[in-house]
Chain A
Amino acid sequence: RKEVEQDPGPFNVPEGATVAFNCTYSNSASQSFFWYRQDCRKEPKLLMSVYSSGNEDGRFTAQLNRASQYISLLIRDSKLSDSATYLCVVNEGGSYIPTFGRGTSLIVHP
């Protein structure tokens, strides 16, 4: 089975903190990469795609390191509403079938 590994956490941080998650993948032929957010008992929703050059969306920054086969998500100035599980998703080349990591739980407290 092609592996996508994440630290399950939970990461417990105060409001305003900066927190970073990493995700490693085993298939060097992987072509596209994503971070999804999942609230408790809800469906996953795309947070951001991860591009080779790195990309930023407001307080969120995603980076890809192909040589070391990992992607990262950095959240700055954490909000209470950022509390959720963050899923790393890797699509293998060719058919682009997604493989999901098990998720990293983030709890932001006052």
Chain B
Amino acid sequence: DADVTQTPRNRITKTGKRIMLECSQTKGHDRMYWYRQDPGLGLRLIYYSFDVKDINKGEISDGYSVSRQAQAKFSLSLESAIPNQTALYFCATSDPRTGSYEQYFGPGTRLTVT
């Protein structure tokens, strides 16, 4: 089984709808991240969390919110989706206590807002 899972894998929604993307991990890592990837723009950080009580905005947090329900779960919400939020969304984890800052990514959620 994958260590970092994301649901749904694909989603098409309409402008104005609320949508939640979910991420779960079995790696026991404290740090979790949400990124979006657009063609030609690379990965951009939306939010990150160093533990359940520590949530921080990333580079492009406007229009998004997050919830860290437990160490293993980190959800990303779009309160009112708009077409320019169409992108590939990745969740990732890391744990510096291992001595490495390697990020482990989920398989991604492809979101289309029409």
Contact with A along B82-110 (1 / 0, CB 8 A): 00000010100000100011110111101
Chain B interface residue count, CB cutoff 8 Å, equals 23
User: Which residue of B42, B105, B110 is within 8 Å of A45 (Cβ)?
Assistant: B105
Q: Are B101 and A96 in contact (CB under 8 A)?
A: yes
Whether B113 sits at the interface, judged by CB under 8 Å, is no
Within 8 A of B (CB), among A9-61: 32, 34, 36, 41-46, 49
Q: Are A103 and B42 in contact (CB under 8 A)?
A: yes
Cα distance A20–B33 when bound, in Å? Answer: 30
Tier of interface size on chain A? 20 to 34
Given A1-B59, A100-B43, A91-B107 contact (CB < 8 Å)? no
Question: How far in angstroms is the closest Cβ of chain B from A33?
Answer: 10
Q: Are B42 and A100 in contact (CB under 8 A)?
A: yes
User: Which residue of A32, A34, A44 is within 8 Å of B105 (Cβ)?
Assistant: A44
Chain A residues within 8 Å of B105, by CB: 43-45
User: Which residue of B90, B96, B108 is within 8 Å of A96 (Cβ)?
Assistant: B96
Question: How far in angstroms is the closest Cβ of chain B from A23?
Answer: 11
Q: Are A43 and B96 in contact (CB under 8 A)?
A: no
> Which A residues contact B (CB, under 8 angstroms)?
1, 8, 32, 34, 36, 41-46, 49, 87, 89, 91, 96-103
Give 22 pairs: A residue, B residue, CB < 8 Å, sorted on A.
Answer: A32-B101, A34-B101, A34-B102, A41-B108, A42-B107, A42-B108, A43-B90, A44-B43, A44-B103, A45-B105, A46-B103, A49-B100, A87-B42, A91-B101, A96-B101, A97-B58, A98-B45, A98-B103, A99-B45, A100-B35, A100-B43, A102-B40
> Which B residues contact A (CB, under 8 angstroms)?
33, 35, 40-45, 48, 58-59, 88, 90, 96, 100-103, 105-108, 110
